[in-house]
Amino acid sequence: MGERIFLAGASGAVGRRLVPLLVAAGHRVTGTTRVSEKADELRGLGAEPVIVDVFDAAALAQKIAAARPAIVIHQLTDLPRDLDPQKMPAALVRNARIRDEGTKNLVAAALAAGARRLIAQSIAWVYARGAEPHREEDPVDTAAEGERSVTIRGVVALEERVLEAPPLEGIVLRYGFLYGPGTPHQRAARPIPVHVDAAAFAALCAVDRGASGIYKHRRGEPARRHREGRARAGLAGRLPVAAALGKASRRPSSSHG
Ligand SMILES: NC(=O)c1ccc[n+]([C@@H]2O[C@H](COP(=O)([O-])OP(=O)(O)OC[C@H]3O[C@@H](n4cnc5c(N)ncnc54)[C@H](OP(=O)(O)O)[C@@H]3O)[C@@H](O)[C@H]2O)c1
């Protein structure tokens, strides 16, 4: 049965790929941007657009209450699209703020609106040194210093806020490094690569599958025939999604940019 879904970050690299997947699965999507010029694009993708800044807690609460979602999906980040190294130090601070304060506002608004589940984007390169591939339960690198410590603190805050907000079912998706449309990389280039469509697909799967907890992307698990299918399985395979996974891996390869 279709759900009412509030997608924070519908205009981002993952959000734009996720809206059509949710709509095709029969869900009713309200999607956010701060920029009124992007509203038509979101409408074209199939979402009902709302203009809101996650740091405006009162406005966010009002928009989420009006949307009456069963599911809230958090795909907010604040990084330069080209990941320009000159801009990254300031961007990492802003990004950590969105993970902490932005997530706090989203959780409060989701609880107030009576949402059942909150699915949030996190990252897979957070671990302390140790045997690889890392597993969800491995220790996070909380002793990190410098720029990495800013990121780690933001991730820890996001994950705690999402997972410790009963009765909300919190699902954390630790994505690998994104590539594909809307990112600077059109091919898998970095460790633990994940195509934006694979990341979007994992969020779709998390709408109605998986217990509350953390799901980490692992490369090539389980192995599938298509390259993108493998990327999907690397995270979505952590959720019990065999049927949906098989269906999605037959989608035309042109959709992967
Ligand atoms: N795992 C990874 O490797 C990873 C994860 C995330 C991002 N990235 C990279 O970072 C770059 C940017 O990615 P992106 O396009 O998804 O991020 P983005 O352009 O920063 O936007 C992400 C989403 O967050 C929203 N947003 C940002 N600040 C907000 C705020 N204060 N209030 C409400 N909404 C806010 C944006 O909405 P607006 O329309 O209002 O801007 C957008 O919908 C890309 O190169 C991407 O590949 C990589």
Predicted pLDDT at 99: 98
- pLDDT-wise least confident of 37-51, 60-74, 134-148: 134-148
Question: Is 177 near ligand 1, meaning CB less than 6 Å away?
Answer: yes
Q: Whose CA is nearest to atom 22 of ligand 1?
A: 12
CA dihedral 212, 100, 57, 209 (to 10 degrees): -20
Please give the distance, rounded to the nearest whole angstrom, from the Cα atom of residue 131 to the centre of ligand 1.
31
Determine the atom of ligand 1 nearest the C-alpha atom of 78: 20
Question: Is 54 near ligand 1, meaning CB less than 6 Å away?
Answer: yes
Put simply, whether the predicted model's pTM sits higher than 0.85 gets the answer: yes
Q: Please determine, for residue 224, whether its predicted confidence score (pLDDT) is greater than 70.
A: no
Is cis: bond before 89, omega within 30 of 0? Answer: no
- pLDDT-wise least confident of 130-139, 179-188, 192-201, 239-248: 239-248
Determine the atom of ligand 1 nearest the C-alpha atom of 179: 47
4-256 adopts what CATH topology? Rossmann fold (3.40.50)
Q: Please determine, for residue 243, whether its predicted confidence score (pLDDT) is greater than 70.
A: no
Q: Please determine, for residue 125, whether its predicted confidence score (pLDDT) is greater than 60.
A: yes
> Which is it for the CA torsion 101, 5, 197, 249, positive or negative?
positive
Question: Is 182 near ligand 1, meaning CB less than 6 Å away?
Answer: yes
Determine the atom of ligand 1 nearest the C-alpha atom of 184: 45
Provide the residue count of the chain. 257
Name the residue of 75, 78, 83, 106 whose CB sits within 8 Å of the most ligand 1 atoms, as the mutation to test its pocket.
78
Question: Is 15 near ligand 1, meaning CB less than 6 Å away?
Answer: yes
DSSP assignments along 46-107, one per residue: T-EEEE--TT-HHHHHHHHHHH--SEEEE------TT--TTTHHHHHHHHHHIIIIIHHHHH
Please, which pLDDT band fits residue 241 given cuts at 50, 70 and 90?
very low
Please, which pLDDT band fits residue 133 given cuts at 50, 70 and 90?
confident
Q: Report the mean per-residue pLDDT for the chain.
A: 86
Condensed to tens digits (0 to 9), the pLDDT of residues 176-214 reads 889 899 999 888 877 788 889 889 988 998 998 888 999
Q: Please determine, for residue 233, whether its predicted confidence score (pLDDT) is greater than 80.
A: no
Please, which pLDDT band fits residue 230 given cuts at 50, 70 and 90?
very low
- Phi and psi at 10, nearest 5°, equal -65, -25
Predicted pLDDT at 220: 52
Please give the distance, rounded to the nearest whole angstrom, from the Cα atom of residue 81 to the centre of ligand 1.
8
Q: Please determine, for residue 255, whether its predicted confidence score (pLDDT) is greater than 70.
A: no
Contact 64, 109 (CB under 8 A): yes
Please give the distance, rounded to the nearest whole angstrom, from the Cα atom of residue 225 to the centre of ligand 1.
31
Q: List CB contacts of 137: < 8 A, sequence separation 6 or more.
A: none
Question: Is 103 near ligand 1, meaning CB less than 6 Å away?
Answer: no
Could you tell me which residue, 68 or 82, shows the higher pLDDT?
A: 68
Could you tell me which residue, 110 or 238, shows the higher pLDDT?
A: 110
Rounded Cα gap, residues 223 and 237, in angstroms: 10
Closest listed residue to residue 217, CA positions, set 225, 207, 226, 203 = 203
User: What pairs with residue 122 in β-bridges?
Assistant: 174
Q: Whose CA is nearest to atom 20 of ligand 1?
A: 78
Please give the distance, rounded to the nearest whole angstrom, from the Cα atom of residue 203 to the centre of ligand 1.
16
Determine the atom of ligand 1 nearest the C-alpha atom of 175: 1
